[in-house]
Structure 1
Amino acid sequence: MYSKTRRRVLLGLAHKAAQQLGMDEDTRRAAQRAFCGKESLRDYSDSQLIAWCWELKRRGAEIGIPAPPPRGGGWGRPTEPQLGEIERLALAMGWAGLDDGALRGFIRRTCGADDVRFITRGQATAVINGLRRWLAHRQRHAGQEVA
């Protein structure tokens, strides 16, 4: 746990960066919720707060962050190809894409996350593999060939 002073500095940097990027309060809170599932930075852990500051810097904010960036490029977020494959498989299952409730339920059962936006790369791989197996099972039982 960081000292209260260091945490206050990080909170201030995050707010300053959001202002630089032209985010009003509603937009900022929505972006924070999309990034980590929490609207308020006060609810972020220290590592999540640092990752959020680095994300804002990646988006173009000019801030100096008194901590190294999180390890693993992309900070463990799923790659675009992974997200595309999840969406493709969801559509093949007959779901409405990444925002479908059935997909959210599958993700919750598979890796414990509430939404595709909150999974890691490793969890994305588990979701993809699970969807492929489920789709293949459905196709076999429907008498179709597995692609």
Structure 2
Amino acid sequence: MTPLAAIHVGNKQLGLDEDTARDLYERVTGKRSLREMNDRELRLIITEHRQRGFKPAEKGLQGPFAKKLQALWIAAWNLGIVRDRRDAAMLSFIKRQTGIQHTRFLLDADDAAKAIDALKAWMTREAGVDWSQSVATAEWLRPSGAKIALAQWHVLSVLKAVDPKGFRQFVWDNAKPLDQMTERDWPAVMNALGDMVRKAKA
């Protein structure tokens, strides 16, 4: 993968919109455009992405349930309950839950559910993620990302790193208003909160 391609993939994985990405470029290299950068500067951006949690999918991570499992694994890492965010660590977890060695062999929905449900239960038990949905659930809280971000805020509150009542203000400062957030908007918030969780726990 070329440095440019890696940066575009990193921006997408980290949920960075164009303005946020350009702000990052300028902070790291003094330049707002990738076209103006030399190879060393492009690699500095990639390094910054990696420090924020970007990791290109490891070769061979395939299968109909791979993306969902990987997203949950990264969410658990952002909650501070997974210590190793690499796909290899996730595959070890999946093997313990299902007896299946790799996501490319995880083809049965019942087998996949064992790993998915175990991950979700772990996130509920260790970080208080509330996966429930009801007609009373606020629209903004329906996406999984919102549920995880709210649990991250609770973890930070327990660690006395944030104001327990400040979640709405944090989201307002860093993203769209709650009632405009979609599933695609939450990864950037979860990654930012993940950085805060890991620093607070360090």
TM-score (norm 2): 0.27
TM-score (norm 1): 0.36
Greater RCO structure (CA 8 Å; 6+ sep): 2
Higher-Rg member (1/2): 1
